[in-house]
Chains A and B, each alone.
Chain A
């Protein structure tokens, strides 16, 4: 009958996807596919007619191996229930011809073959080798774990750095105050004993102690912002800018002419944004202070899902080739004697903005002024 249908069942058996082992109800091996032989590194003549678990024992070096007992349980269930049983993915250590073991992950399905009397004739043990999938998954988990560890390390290092900055800054303030204090005592109590040079030397000591104090306070501020949680709320930038100008830049006290467009609202930490505006405005006032008719323009627009604000001045400007230096800590483009400052203001501004998911950039030209553009995401 087989011949009459013209079907080559052996070829069919060998070509079916997966690995096959055919067992008697007593669990001796009746037949095996070439793929199974290849995967288990065995040969047909060595296993046909032999007991399954004698041929494929658990790895004796791995006391936690459960493959054999799981398989035995599954086969017993098939014999008892006369129904197929799918096993969970099993880790098998396949014995190589040299006696060593190779780790494979198999997804086995055991199916009974019944006769007309409803007796189990054979059991088809079909295996899908999922080693590659398991390995991929393991790799994925490993990478995820590595990423998590790196992340934890970064958070930890960041905290350590912040607390280092803090304690250094804190412990530096005390000796500075003492230097400034004792120099002050000399100036006030011993002024008559000092000539002009002596007094100037003391003034230099005091000025520098104070400058260092300012640097430390700015550093502390920077470290504080690194640690601070953002308190983000919808913010009316017009209100914010006008309250800043009223408080800090009383119009009669600053020379530049201010022109402020109506500003778009933003969702941000208004306390921190206040610092951004104050820094940018003071810079604009400072660097336009020496030109004949200083002007500062403030405005906003939308671009690429961000709201962009700008502060434009017509002051001394700078060469754009130094622009990458501008937002670093203690970076200055001008001498302290030309313009005061500690060189932390713009680093602070950049840190505040990146913390919001925004950014800052600058366009400038020597003697033509500078425009700072800062952006905040539209939430």
Chain B
């Protein structure tokens, strides 16, 4: 998939969590243009066309970035900080999708400008419902910023 074709970027290091998230989105038929990356550094390289993604010329305009907080190398809050600090990526809709109900994570995420913060329910049915609803909202309903 070319950079400009990616609609949803999922940054999640646990492959099983990722599979369940992707499955829930697939049920809504919105996972066709989904890219899953499993570490924070690679996610930043992809978004900013650095490292092995250097030389990419197509611009990445995601409809949704789903971000886990606990990630290897560069964590989710750092990714959020860098994206919201850059004028080209500032308008990317970012939803933190995490197990952490920790108040300071929530406060910090909103301070950095997260678009939404979802605590994953343990109950899989509730989880599926939550992911489906947020996927539909951001990918189908939400009108992104046209640059």
Contact = CB atoms under 8 A, between A and B. Distances in A.
Contact of B100 (A170, A206, A214): A170
Q: Which of B16, B23, B102, B123 has the most CB of A within 10 A?
A: B123
Contacts of A212: 122
A340 interface: no
B101 A181 contact: no
B107 interface: no
Contacts of A174: 14, 17, 99, 120
B122 A210 contact: yes
B79 to A, nearest CB: 19
B20 A178 contact: yes
Q: Which of A170, A176, A209, A220 has the most CB of B within 10 A?
A: A170
B127 A181 contact: yes
Contacts of B14: 174, 178
A185 interface: yes
A206 to B, nearest CB: 8
B122 A180 contact: yes
A220 B101 contact: yes
Interface residues of A, number: 23
B120 A181 contact: no
A34 to B, nearest CB: 71
Contact of A166 (B102, B120, B121, B123): B102
Contact of A177 (B20, B23, B101): B20
Contact of A170 (B23, B101, B127): B101
B125 interface: yes
Interface in B5-24: 14, 16-17, 20, 23
Contacts of B121: 177, 213
A209 B102 contact: no
B110 interface: no
A216 interface: yes
B132 to A, nearest CB: 14
Contacts of A255: none
B102 A170 contact: yes
Contact of B123 (A178, A182, A210, A220): A210
A64 B47 CA distance: 67
Nearest to A210: B123
Contact of B17 (A170, A177, A216): A177
B124 interface: yes
Interface string B1-44: 00000000000001011001001000000000000000000000
B122 A217 contact: yes
A173 interface: yes
Given A174-B17, A178-B16, A181-B127, A209 B122 contact: yes
A212 B120 CA distance: 15
A184 B99 contact: no
Closest 5 CB pairs of A and B: A213-B122, A181-B20, A181-B124, A180-B124, A178-B16
Interface of A: 166, 170-171, 173-174, 176-178, 180-185, 206, 209-210, 212-214, 216-217, 220
